[in-house]
């Protein structure tokens, strides 16, 4: 296995995070999956408006921004409902927020070639099925994928051709506060997510990986930046509705 360039990050961990051995980094990030080649996907380019990928560390504000977008442009954007093996949080709805499945169910569908991408994140499996994207595109909506950085790398190997946006926190300390205030994580999963966040922020520096990086400090400012980069696609989709 190739040694990831972010390996040095393990040495930066603080005392309370030394519970994560350096080897943990090898489990936090998987190299792109070679089986996810364009021929393994449908001809996405022919499927309507250009999709959007929202990525960035857990707690950076992707869902918050996405909810605003889906509310303000109800019929323009559609959310790609991922599969995950993690437990639902209070208020999360199966089939709307995620398809909550067992590891066995998900692996079976992956083996059957039903996923565009999938990854292991913080001890759980996550993935985008072809059906999730097709369901949105069938409505002629702009399909938005909320995926981690491994998903970004795997999607880059397909012909989906989305706009890639990374949503990032102003600092790791602020990210930690937001995640703690969200009250969705145990101490263990919070620390895993913070470790993954450091990896994510480091890998996101790769030139050309993202079309836009949004620093989500002031929410309204971040939202304006998001809308601005999507304006052309929004207009095109609105126009196509008139004809
Ligand atoms: N600009 C902001 N200022 C302050 N708090 C924010 C801001 N943006 C989001 N938050 C809060 O931070 C927390 C994390 O946001 P959110 O759940 O949207 O992150 P996320 O990137 O979708 O995380 P995950 O990947 O784990 O789903 C939420 O409680 C949200 O209300
Ligand atoms: N590679 C993928 N990553 C995904 C997908 N769906 C969500 N995610 C990412 O997982 C983490 C954690 O999400 P949470 O809901 O448990 O907080 C976050 O970074 C998401 O972007 C997916 O289908 N593929």
Cα(41) to centroid(ligand 1), Å:
31
Provide the residue-wise pLDDT of the chain in tens; the chain has 243 residues: 333 333 223 323 333 222 333 344 445 556 666 555 444 455 655 568 999 999 999 999 999 999 999 999 999 999 999 999 999 999 999 999 999 999 999 999 999 999 999 999 999 999 999 999 999 999 999 999 999 999 999 999 999 999 999 999 999 999 999 999 999 999 999 999 999 999 999 999 999 999 999 999 999 999 999 999 999 999 999 998 887
Kindly provide the ipTM of the predicted complex, given to two decimals: 0.99
Please answer whether residues 110 and 126 qualify as being in contact, where contact means their C-beta atoms are separated by less than 8 angstroms. no
Cα Rg of the chain (Å, integer) = 18
- Tell me if 192 CB under 6 Å of ligand 1: no
Residues in a beta bridge with 78: 143
Q: Which ligand is nearest to the CA of 62?
A: 1
Q: Is 37 in the pocket of ligand 1 (CB under 6 A)?
A: no
N-term to C-term CA, the chain: 52
Is 89 one of the catalytic residues?
Answer: yes
What are φ and ψ of residue 225, in 5° steps? -65, -40
What pLDDT sits at residue 18?
Answer: 29
101, 82 contact by CB (below 8 A): no
Q: Which atom from ligand 1 is nearest to the alpha carbon of 65? A: 18
């Amino acid at each position: 296995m190739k040694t990831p360039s972010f390996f040095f990050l393990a040495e930066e961990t603080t005392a309370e995070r030394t519970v994560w051995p350096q080897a943990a980094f090898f489990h936090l990030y998987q190299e792109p999956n070679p089986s996810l080649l364009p021929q393994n996907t449908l001809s996405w380019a022919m499927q309507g408006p250009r999709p959007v990928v929202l990525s960035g560390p857990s707690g950076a504000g992707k869902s918050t921004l996405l909810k605003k977008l889906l509310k303000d442009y109800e019929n323009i954007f559609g959310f790609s409902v991922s599969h995950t093996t993690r437990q639902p949080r209070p208020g999360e709805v199966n089939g709307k927020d995620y398809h909550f499945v067992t590891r066995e169910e998900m692996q079976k569908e992956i083996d059957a070639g039903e996923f565009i991408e999938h990854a292991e994140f913080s001890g759980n499996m996550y993935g985008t099925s072809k059906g999730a994207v097709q369901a949105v595109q069938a409505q002629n909506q702009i399909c938005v994928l909320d995926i981690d950085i491994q998903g970004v790398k795997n999607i880059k190997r397909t012909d989906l051709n989305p706009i890639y946006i990374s949503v990032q926190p102003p600092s790791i300390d602020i990210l930690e506060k937001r995640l703690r205030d969200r009250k969705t994580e145990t101490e263990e999963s919070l620390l895993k997510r913070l470790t993954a966040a450091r990896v994510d922020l480091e890998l996101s520096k790769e030139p050309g990986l993202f079309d836009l990086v949004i620093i989500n400090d002031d929410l309204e400012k971040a939202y304006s930046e998001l809308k601005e980069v999507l304006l052309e696609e929004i207009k095109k989709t609105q126009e196509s509705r008139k004809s």
